[in-house]
Chains A and B, each alone.
Chain A
């Protein structure tokens, strides 16, 4: 009789423990789920592509690289920021365009186009790049970085973000 009482008591105790643990676990799961979704939301946030219009394609001279300055206006979370930026644009036929990031791939110095040598010259460590961006001499680890380009309705658009370091895009 007494033993049965004791057994009852133990099973009641473990039942209550079970209830507490499951309710507690459920509450923990709800809060953790919400918290993790919030904390990890950068993973799922879509990157907004902002293509920049650089003007009519027919205004670009074939075979002659030209540096274009432009203003990028974009959302940075809750603020809208404007930044000045530039790109080197090269076209052979006014249909296919290459846009180079204007920073040397060695240490990020701004390079320039030399008309006489027909090469890009970096002032920092005298590196040189050919017209298609390949390293000709000097320390840079890879060819010039490129921006994606596209032509829409006779306008050249670029996306000023480096994709695939040094690779063609």
Chain B
């Protein structure tokens, strides 16, 4: 092409007129790097790096969500239902990458200013706007499943319960062995002090117990006690509670086979939440879960009814 030679010559001239890379350009690079490092440290300090609960392949209540820079792709999938999903999932990104690779051969004229390349400028701006729009849509789209916050101590205790194979002898929620007592029925009623002594030296508080001494570390005992205590709950509720539920909640929620599926199924809510959390949630869901569509019931129901309902729900452990 005839302009190639001209460009090389013109660039040579520009280069000669230009300044030395060091220190002029390097200064800008260094200041930029300094700014970036500062910003990075600020982000690291301010937000840290989140670590959620350990991966649980059996958890069906989790809201999978990709990192924000993949969110547009995630969101795009929703625009292509059914068989067409592969278009958004593979074809579009594939085309995009191919386009990027071929770009220097598609746009090969001498013009470099964006105003002189209206097609590519518009294409670029259009793509950016599309990605921006989809990302925005992705961030505001509500999470279908409620965000379940767990007490870290209780959760750690639950993990330890599994890894120590306690269920070989003990039952929780009707599952487990029959050698030892059913923990949610018996053990959660004991005091923390009793439980701690029991973990350290089972025979010291219950002579003749078949429970082995486990040589547990102090913090392991702490989390196990928290876990066992959390199995309690289900303080007595009145006969009114199921009726209140049927009248106010069942049009969205399900317990067992009764109720609708607009909101989450609450049949097992007592295994994830304690009474106090549930009461707060019924009073004003938005405080605990900003993306919830559920209305608050403070004022709609009396405090006694809410308390009763919370007790009823915290007893829902699937048994």
Contacts and interface: CB of A to CB of B under 8 A. Distances in A.
The answer to whether any beta carbons of A and B sit under 8 Å apart in the complex is yes
Interface stretch (A38-46, A66-74, A95-103, A136-144): A66-74
Nearest to B20: A13
B23 A30 contact: no
Contacts of A74: 217
Contact of B33 (A13, A16, A27, A50): A27
B302 interface: no
B37 A30 contact: yes
B169 interface: no
A75 B41 CA distance: 32
B220 A80 contact: yes
Interface stretch (B24-32, B78-86, B103-111): B24-32
B252 interface: no
A71 B213 CA distance: 10
A27 B26 contact: no
B27 to A, nearest CB: 5
A20 B217 contact: no
Contact of A16 (B24, B217, B220): B24
A24 interface: yes
A39 B216 CA distance: 30
B216 A73 contact: yes
Contact of B217 (A23, A71, A75): A75
A2 B30 CA distance: 31
Contact of A23 (B34, B41, B220): B34
Nearest to A82: B215
Interface residues of B, number: 16
Contact of A73 (B31, B41, B215): B215
Interface string A128-150: 00000000000000000000000
A2 B217 CA distance: 79
A13 B217 contact: no
Contacts of B23: 13, 16-17, 20
Contacts of A27: 33-34, 37
Contacts of A19: 27, 30
A41 B24 CA distance: 40
A3 B31 CA distance: 30
Interface residues of A, number: 19
A72 B27 CA distance: 59
Contacts of A109: none
Interface string B175-214: 0000000000000000000000000000000000000001
B215 A72 contact: yes
A92 interface: no
Interface in B3-32: 22-24, 26-27, 30-31
A71 B215 contact: yes
B215 A23 contact: no
Contacts of B34: 23, 26-27
Nearest to A70: B215
A16 B216 CA distance: 62
A16 B27 contact: yes
A37 B131 CA distance: 41
Contacts of B27: 16, 19-20
Contacts of A17: 22-23
A23 B24 contact: no
B221 to A, nearest CB: 11
A72 B215 CA distance: 7
B303 to A, nearest CB: 45
Interface of B: 22-24, 26-27, 30-31, 33-34, 37, 41, 214-217, 220
Given A20-B23, A27-B33, 18 more contacts: A16-B24, A17-B22, A17-B23, A19-B30, A20-B26, A20-B30, A23-B31, A23-B34, A27-B37, A30-B37, A71-B215, A73-B214, A73-B215, A73-B217, A75-B217, A80-B217, A80-B220, A82-B215
30 contacts: A13-B23, A16-B24, A17-B22, A17-B23, A19-B27, A19-B30, A20-B23, A20-B26, A20-B27, A20-B30, A23-B30, A23-B31, A23-B33, A23-B34, A26-B34, A27-B33, A27-B37, A30-B37, A30-B41, A31-B37, A50-B217, A72-B215, A73-B214, A73-B215, A73-B216, A73-B217, A75-B217, A80-B217, A80-B220, A82-B215
